Structure 1
Amino acid sequence: MNLAWGDDPNDFFFKKFLGLTSGPQEIGNIRSSILFSLALVWFLNWFIVFRGIEKGIERANKIFMPLLFFLTAILVFWSLRLPGALEGIKIYLKPDFSALARPGVWVDAFSQIFFTLSLGFGIMIAYASYLPRKSDIVHNAYTISFLNCFYSFFAGFAVFSTIGYMAHHTGAKFQEVIRESIGLAFVAYPKSISLLPFLPQLFGILFFTTLFVAGLSSSISIIEAFTSAVMDKFSWERENVVTVLSILGFSGSIIFATGGGLYWIDIVDHFLSHYGLVMVGILEAVAVAWIYKAHRVRDHINHISVLNIGRWWDISVRYVVPGVLLLLLVNDIVHEVSHPYGGYSWITIILVGRDWLIYTLFAAFIVAMRPWKKTLHIE
């Protein structure tokens, strides 16, 4: 199969590479190239998590994280030199405050920050369990949040400067160049790369290598969160847990390697990340602030941290966070009822999106209700 993007990346990506069908109800054939890539990613996830914390995840992160930032820095400084890049940067740095009046923007923002900070997945809880008991929580929280936001902001320069170059080169308006995230990453951006006056192949390799490293590091974290939880809950061996999880995960994700897979992953991603993470955020806030009590958590945090947090944290966790998330969630559900997501039919939304979310939450609830197989002592 010829993997060159050609003059029409849109036609190549959606028709030739994905073999996109007419809708999610038409599954289509399994795409061998996508299936192979899927198997490779699951194998890498299995191999790294299988090896444990020090030999697997820690060693991988020591390679992936510096590599990710290094590749991103190359993309940023390279793209800033392109003609028209400045126009893209101006749009990037000019905020549209009117968008703050749209509730959907806030839901998307919360979902995005939940995802980038790995909130609601159990990743932070899993990784935190490997830290020394008296680690400075406040310092770690501020550092992680700042670096996460800084990286996202920094990487945005590469995206907007390159899209600005494409708009400059083609004479199209900037808004016409930008599409949805999947189209931006795999259609608009490759088109921009193909228009580069020098070394477009190298730039393309750097861009997709960056995407691959970012995606792989995220998937490793998600699998480790589930693996560590099952290990602690049932006292099962790491090797057995991650092997079974990888086999089940690969088998369940084969549907995404079909001609209709893009529709399925679009709907599933929307419901799990858009609704699932927000719902988990509400439940976590309630559990911490109302069941365990926010002041007890704050006292412990301040006891082991150099920089203390005040009572504002209690108010935020008790009222602000769950209240805002609940308000946005209800508003989005109301909008969803009148305007089904993505223009999909209701039967598709129910079977693929809503039910997938319900089954996931139900399975998580069943596992959570199982008694612990061993006693954990927390000092």
Structure 2
Amino acid sequence: MRDSFHTRIGFVLAAAGSAIGLGNIWGFPSQVANHGGAAFLIVYLLVVVVLAVPALYTELSLGHAAQANPVKALSSLSTTAQPLTAISGKTMGYLNVIGAILMLSFYHLVAAWMLAEGFTFLLTALHLPAMPPWFADASTMRDIILLLVFVALTFGIVINGVQQGIERWSRRLMPLLIVLLVGLIAYMSTLPGSADGFRAYLVPDFSAMWNADLLVSAMGQAFFSLSIGLGGMMIYGSYLKKDTRIGRLTWSVAALDTMVAFLAGLLIIPALYVAMAQGLSVTEGEQLIGEGRLIFQVLPDLFTQLGYAGAWLGFGFFALLSIAALTSTIATAEVPIAYAIETHPLNRRQAARIIATIIAVIGCTLVIWFEPLFNWVVTYVTQFQLPLSGLFYFIVLGWFWQRSNRVRELAATSWRYRLLFWHLRLFCPLLLAWVFVDVAL
């Protein structure tokens, strides 16, 4: 018997935890800062409703209907009179499994860097100056050890299954993440320069709303922030009971994810302006620094300048990022684990150990041969695998999946459902194809 989520809130927290990752906390605020402040936020909210929620609903629906891992789900639901559709479904399922493994490999390395920063600030706050240099000074050995620590955290949770592992820890980690986020916002609001940051974030530049680049950026961010495209949401959907109605669950997950992204902006953008008030450089050309340099250079420099309080602030910030990473990795890890269990004579513990070993080996390889491999793996997963998979999910729901397709059945009952069906079948794929082509070029 397949494992399943025990409660509705457990599923919502787990699925939102999967969606809430580094893209919410460093990607979303950077996009807002560089695309007209609240103007981007307004367009982003619209795009969440028009594209991201339908994409999330589609991926959850595929898993829920098939009650299987992405390889079996996409293969069975793509079976029509044309045998090539089943083959394409199975191929995309395998790409999901491979993409999930690659994503876990580089995500665990980034998480290792966050652990290093967090421990550096914690030990500094505890007045243990002899210890931080090992964490603060980048080295191959440090990155490998901390990567293995994070792999152990991820698979130490998922090895216990859906209810006892993923659901139980999501119910603990998600409230802690939100408390940390709100607490950091409250403290940041007391520092000089933060008021300018809040204005830059919350006051819209309406002239920027008509920029095509803003629209494409908002579509890409909305799609990626909900963790759609690697099969994590599909496998979570398969762990819902067959009689579950997933429409409201989809909106709940999207709302929680969007709320955290909004709160992340209330932390990051004011922090950048606080850094400017401290004399730090936070711009590249006309744009605010974002993503990797923001997290691992600008903000650590800011926390260091703030002295003893900054050490605790830095520890809290990197603890927040580590929790966000962990809630994402436990979801993504279910993709290859479910595939291994359902297609090979393995139990969960055996599958988890094998997948953990594979992730550790690839992750260590990325550490040792960082320059030629890391950027290639990240680019493949984020710019190719994610949008291509999401596009394929829409095609399966709208075109390949014939029998027991609830959306197709509802479309025959009223014009509203018919409009929704064509929205999922045609409009959403076209929007996503636009994002895919824009990113590829």
TM-score by length of 1: 0.73
Deviation of the 1:108 alpha carbon: 4.7
> In the alignment, which of 188, 194, 211 is matched to residue 321 of structure 2?
211
- Alignment check: 8 A CA contact 1:119 1:277 kept: yes
Deviation of the 1:89 alpha carbon: 1.6
- Alignment check: 8 A CA contact 1:193 1:203 kept: yes
Cα distance in 2 for partners of 1:297, 1:92 equals 41
If each structure's helix is expressed as a fraction of its own residues, which one has the higher value?
2
> In the alignment, which of 211, 234, 246 is matched to residue 356 of structure 2?
246
SS of 1:81's partner is: coil
2:28 corresponds to which residue? none
Deviation of the 1:235 alpha carbon: 5.3
Cα distance in 2 for partners of 1:137, 1:147 equals 15
SS of 2:228's partner is: coil
**Aligned 1:1-379 pairs, distance under 5 A:** 17-18=137-138, 31-95=140-204, 98=208, 101-103=211-213, 108-170=217-279, 178-196=288-306, 199-234=309-344, 236-258=346-368, 261=370, 264-292=373-401, 296-298=405-407, 310-333=417-440, 335=441
Distance change in 2, residues 1:289/1:263 (3 Å) = same
Deviation of the 1:264 alpha carbon: 3.2
- Alignment check: 8 A CA contact 1:61 1:217 kept: yes
1:306-329 CA-partner distances (Å, limit 9, x unpaired) = xx9733321221111111222332
AA aligned opposite 1:69: I
- Alignment check: 8 A CA contact 2:235 2:335 kept: yes
Deviation of the 1:178 alpha carbon: 3.3
AA aligned opposite 1:138: G
Cα distance in 2 for partners of 1:256, 1:267 equals 10
How high is the sequence identity, in percent, across the aligned residues? 21
Cα distance in 2 for partners of 1:48, 1:42 equals 10
- Alignment check: 8 A CA contact 2:282 2:288 kept: no
- Alignment check: 8 A CA contact 1:126 1:225 kept: yes
How many residues align structurally? 310
1:357 corresponds to which residue? none
Distance change in 2, residues 1:37/1:280 (3 Å) = same
Deviation of the 1:172 alpha carbon: 5.2
Unaligned runs of 5+ in 1: 7-11, 20-30, 303-307, 336-379
AA aligned opposite 1:314: F
1:229-267 CA-partner distances (Å, limit 9, x unpaired) = 332334532112111111011101112323x52663333
Cα distance in 1 for partners of 2:253, 2:199 equals 28
Cα distance in 2 for partners of 1:294, 1:94 equals 49
TM-score by length of 2: 0.63
Cα distance in 2 for partners of 1:309, 1:72 equals 39
Distance change in 2, residues 1:301/1:277 (3 Å) = farther
- Alignment check: 8 A CA contact 2:408 2:421 kept: no
- Alignment check: 8 A CA contact 1:227 1:238 kept: yes
1:347 corresponds to which residue? none
C-alpha RMSD of the superposition:
3.2
1:112-134 CA-partner distances (Å, limit 9, x unpaired) = 33333221121112112222222
AA aligned opposite 2:430: G
- Alignment check: 8 A CA contact 1:110 1:278 kept: no
Q: Which has the higher contact order (CA 8 A, sep 6+)?
A: 2
Between 1:310-319 and 1:60-69, the stretch displaced more is: 310-319
SS of 2:417's partner is: coil
Unaligned runs of 5+ in 2: 1-115, 125-131
